[in-house]
Amino acid sequence: MSDAPDTFYVTTPIYYVNDKPHLGHVYTTMVADVVARYHRLRGDDTFFLTGVDEHSAKVVDKAAEMGLSTEDWAEQNAGAFKATFEKLEMTHDDFVRTSSDHHKAKVTEYVAALLKSGEVYEGEYAGWYDAGQEEYVPENKAKELDYKSEVNGKPLVKKTEKNYFFRLSNHVPALLEHFEANPGFVQPAARRNEIINRIKDAEDIPISRTGTSGWGIPVPGDPEQSIYVWIDALFNYLTYVDTPERRHYWQSGAVHLIAKDILWFHASVWPAMLMALAKIDGYGWVNLPKMVYTHSYWISESGEKMSKSLGNFLDPEAIDRAVDTFGLDALRYFLATRGPLGTTDSAFSADLFAETYNADLANTFGNSASRVTNMIGKYFGGVLPEVGDGGKPFAVADDALFDHLKLEGAAQLGLRVVREQVDGYIEATRPFTIAKEPERMGEVGTILYNCAEALRIASVLLWPFIPDACEAFWERIGCDYAAQMKADGGKGKLDEWLAWGQLKPGTPIEKGDALFPRYVAEKK
Ligand code: MSP
């Protein structure tokens, strides 16, 4: 097993509440959830944070369009995010709302300290503004883009305002040093190079806006100005663990999961603000995150924006459609193992979803579980047989796959156990043939015990990806793991549960329905 530290803090972006959650938001939180589940199981003192970003002008505009107060619209959508994450059985330890009193008080405190130290100063800003992104675009970049938004193509607008600025430029040398000394800070590596090039020319950045109709956190001492939503939002990672009980999570080095759209803020502005804060009396405990992991996008199938079985792939209803058709475990499994974790985008293809489901879940784990429990039913009256002296222990090495977000590889470890230690082993030993000779039932018993034990081990490896099916399976083979999962996420049980020989001969084994019924596409 890897020697990663025993405290683990993982975060997702906090999502804008201008609308309901869609599959893109669910994706990052799902990935964080799979990783958090693994870390708890491994025994790490784990904290997983997700939530919503409320003080955006987009929320104000959309609420007005809907004829609602900003508060009501934010409340409604924050509720929708929360409900979706609960329905999808996310195991976050807290849910950020930037409108919470604790968050607002802490952000005010940090900005006041930065103002006092001179890291934040008053000035005037004139620049090209991308209204959709609520972001100023530097002159050279604006020119490159022909003064149009990189994201929505709308014209950039020239804007002048009184602002408070953060001395980002002061931190450029320290940032570059940090990148040099910590090659794993921004991952994957290709993203790191992009950022290093951009940081070299970083200028001071405005961190306030002139009034946003009372929405947002006022600049301390200047209520005419509100703290720029991005600064307010980035601080969530710190405010939510800035309590005596939680501070050690921050200090263990946060792992921020984000997509490529928001890398700049996370890899430059954020660490620089933390460096600035750390120099101030009372904030000496503030260190930098351990890693900013930047994934790519889910995109629609080329040339086909709408697909019959999954509809518009990202819209909020797509979440329900995928769960209704394939089940929650399957959605989690597909997102986590076939998603854009690296530097290339992934097509959300209905065909690939069905193929993955059938290949990895229905035909592998699900089918093997049915086969083995069926044979135990048929040959041993549904009672786990004795293992003779042919017990077949094996070891599993995980090579720190989760630490590097190699989720497909991590899931493959579990599937490989099923394929090699169960399917391949059954093909090689043919228990159904041996069972025709009554005097050889001892051998059959040993084979089936080995298979049941291998499936149990595979299910422990697969649990972060398909928890519901694994818990149902444990119930059938008489393991009490599910109760422990409920109590504390199975904290620290990984090594014990991966060790060979936990199942007790004589335990009733239940067949049950198929864990993953084969999916047959409806005729188009
Ligand atoms: N509120 C800011 C983030 C502040 S973090 C301090 C924001 N919010 S957002 O609602 O636009 O969410 C952006 C994030 O949603 C992406 O970084 C990514 O994590 C996720 N995704 C949104 N669409 C996605 C895809 N199509 N594919 C993958 N991830 C997607 O930016």
DSSP 168-192: GGGGHHHHHHHHHH-TTSEESHHHH
Give the model's confidence band at 1: pLDDT under 50 very low, under 70 low, under 90 confident, else very high. Answer: very low
Within 311-394, strands assigned E span 311-312, 346-347
The CA distance from 55 to 74, in Å, is: 9
CA of 332 to the centre of ligand 1 (A): 18
Question: Considering Cα of 135, then 139, then 145, then 148, what sign does the dihedral take?
Answer: positive
Evaluate if pTM is beyond 0.75: yes
At how many degrees (to 10) do helices 172-181 and 270-278 cross? Answer: 100
Residue indicated by tokens 């620089």: 272
Residue 410 CB contacts under 8 Å (≥ 6 apart), including other chains = 38, 398, 401, 402, 461, 464
C-beta of 510 in contact with ligand 1 (< 6 A)? no
In whole angstroms, how far apart are CA 21 and each of 50, 74, 105, 385, 519?
13, 12, 27, 49, 27
pLDDT in tens, 332-366: 999 999 999 999 999 888 899 999 999 999 999 99
Kindly report the protein residue whose alpha carbon is nearest to atom 21 of ligand 1.
24
Output 399 or 158, whichever has higher pLDDT: 158
Q: Mean pLDDT throughout 245-265? A: 97
CA distance 178 to 157: 34
* Closest protein CA for atom 10 of ligand 1: 15
Closest CA to 54 of 10, 2, 107: 107
Q: Lowest mean pLDDT: which of 73-77, 256-260, 322-326, 405-409?
A: 322-326
Which residue among 25, 292, 314 has the greatest number of ligand 1 atoms within 8 angstroms of its CB, and so is best to mutate?
Answer: 25
pLDDT value, residue 303: 47
Q: What is the pLDDT of residues 151-189, one digit of tens each?
A: 889 999 998 888 999 999 999 999 999 999 999 999 999
Distance, CA of 260 to CA of 27 (rounded, Å) = 14
Q: Identify the band that residue 315 occupies on the pLDDT scale cut at 50, 70 and 90.
A: confident
Give residue 118's pLDDT. Answer: 97
What pLDDT shows up at residue 279?
Answer: 97
pLDDT confidence of residue 2? 47
Confidence of residue 452 (pLDDT cuts 50, 70, 90): very high
| pLDDT of 304 strictly over 60 | no
Burial 12-31 (b: 16+ CB within 10 A, else e): bbbbbbbbbbbbbbbbbbbb
pLDDT on residue 75: 97
User: What band does 313 get if pLDDT is binned at 50, 70 and 90?
Assistant: confident
Q: Which of 231, 262, 294, 315 to mutate to test the pocket of ligand 1 (most atoms within 8 A of CB)?
A: 262
Backbone angles phi, psi at 370, to 5 degrees: -65, -45
CA pseudo-torsion sign 360, 363, 369, 372: negative
- The number of beta carbons lying within 10 Å of the beta carbon of residue 183 is 10
Average pLDDT over residues 229-245: 98
Taking the CA atoms of residue 362, residue 367, residue 369 and residue 375 in that order, the dihedral angle to the nearest 10 degrees is 160
Token pair recorded at residue 244: 């005596």
Tell me what pLDDT residue 345 has.
93
Q: Is residue 495 helix, strand or coil?
A: helix
DSSP-assigned beta bridge partners for residue 256: 11, 292
What is the CA(258)–ligand 1 centre distance, in A? 7
Q: Nearest-5° angle of CA 183, CA 187, CA 190? A: 90
Number of neighbours of residue 112 by Cβ within 10 angstroms? 14
Q: pLDDT tens for residues 110-138? A: 999 999 999 999 999 888 998 888 788 98
The whole-number average pLDDT for the span 361-383 is 98
pLDDT digits (tens, 9 = 90+) for 16-69: 999 999 999 999 999 999 999 999 999 999 999 999 999 998 999 999 999 999
Q: For the chain, what percent of residues have pLDDT higher than 90?
A: 84
Backbone φ and ψ for 470, nearest 5 degrees, come out as: -65, -40
Helix (H, G, I), strand (E, B) or coil at 423: helix
Consecutive H or E run containing 498: helix 494-498
Distance between CA 227 and CA 220 in Å, rounded? Answer: 9
- Checking 385-389 for CB contacts under 8 A at 24+ apart, the result is 385/444, 385/445, 385/446, 385/448, 385/449, 385/505, 386/442, 386/445, 386/446, 386/449, 386/505, 387/445, 387/446, 387/449, 387/450, 387/453, 387/505, 388/442, 388/443, 388/445, 388/446, 389/446
Atom 16 (ligand 1) nearest CA: 259
- Residues in contact with 420: Cβ distance below 8 Å, sequence separation at least 6, in sequence order: none
The Cα angle at residue 174 between residues 173 and 180, in degrees rounded to 5: 90
What is residue 524's predicted lDDT score, i.e. its pLDDT? 54
Mutate to test the pocket of ligand 1, among 22, 27, 54, 315 (most ligand atoms within 8 A of CB): 27
pLDDT in tens, 436-449: 999 999 999 999 99
Average pLDDT over residues 480-493: 93
Average per-residue pLDDT for the chain: 93
Q: Which residue has the tokens 């793991």?
A: 481
Report how far apart, in Å, the C-alpha atoms of 237 and of each of 50, 217, 271 are: 9, 16, 12
- pLDDT for the residue 309: 53
Question: Looking at ligand 1, which atom is closest to the CA of residue 270?
Answer: 6
